[in-house]
Structure 1
């Protein structure tokens, strides 16, 4: 019997394997009850091209809370702008096994609105 976390990590591994086969940049999301993190990895997966999280002062300062949909939108917008500034316009979305719902969906939508294609 697998627990919730093991199942999620197994789903994440499957997705990452597929993305690696396609050889594209990857927007990876990690979610905890208190914070949300996003990183854009290069196509080979070795370097972080851009990152944003609710821990960063410039993002945190404009928020009332860090574990809600508004915070996720702010992180999505910031990571997209930083990725585009670094020359990345197209990514594959890696939700790390989390449901595409709530904060994960809000981050993805905000990144798309800011000009990131996926």
Structure 2
């Protein structure tokens, strides 16, 4: 695997998250040019608790595009709803290699509005 700047930034963020996580699951975000994806991951057990993305049929029909801040906020609210249904209220936010700005920030704000605490 190439050790690119993006890979090093993601590793640096994950290393910081591991220090402060104290057993909480992590809310991981992936942003592509056309869609945004979010997962709540339990690293101790190694499985995904909840996931949401703009690829889902009900969201695709209601959104203009999957690549704007409005779509990211809807995905944030949806991931919060699904995580709360699974019994998770506190997470750590894993922005990966992306800056906390724009769509990533909109997703985080939507998740907070939906009731996740981070």
- Give the structure-1-normalised TM-score: 0.90
8 Å CA contact 1:20–1:43 kept in 2: the answer is no
Residue-by-residue CA offset, 1:52-100 (whole Å, 9 max, x unaligned): 0011112222101111111101110100100000000000000012010
Instruction: Specify every segment of 5 or more residues in structure 2 that has no aligned partner in the other structure, as ranges.
Output: none
User: CA 1:98–1:65 in 2, change beyond 3 Å: closer, same or farther?
Assistant: same
- 1:8 equivalent to 2:36? Answer no
Larger displacement relative to structure 2 (43-52 or 66-75): 43-52
Q: Distance in 1 between matches of 2:38 and 2:84?
A: 14
- 1:70 equivalent to 2:70? Answer yes
**Which 4+ stretches in 1 moved above 4 angstroms?**
none
CA RMSD between the two structures:
1.7
Partner of residue 17 from structure 1, selected from 12, 15, 18 = 15
Summarize the alignment of residues 33-112 of structure 1 with structure 2, pairs less than 5 Å apart. Answer: 33-44=33-44, 46-112=46-112
- Give the structure-2-normalised TM-score: 0.90
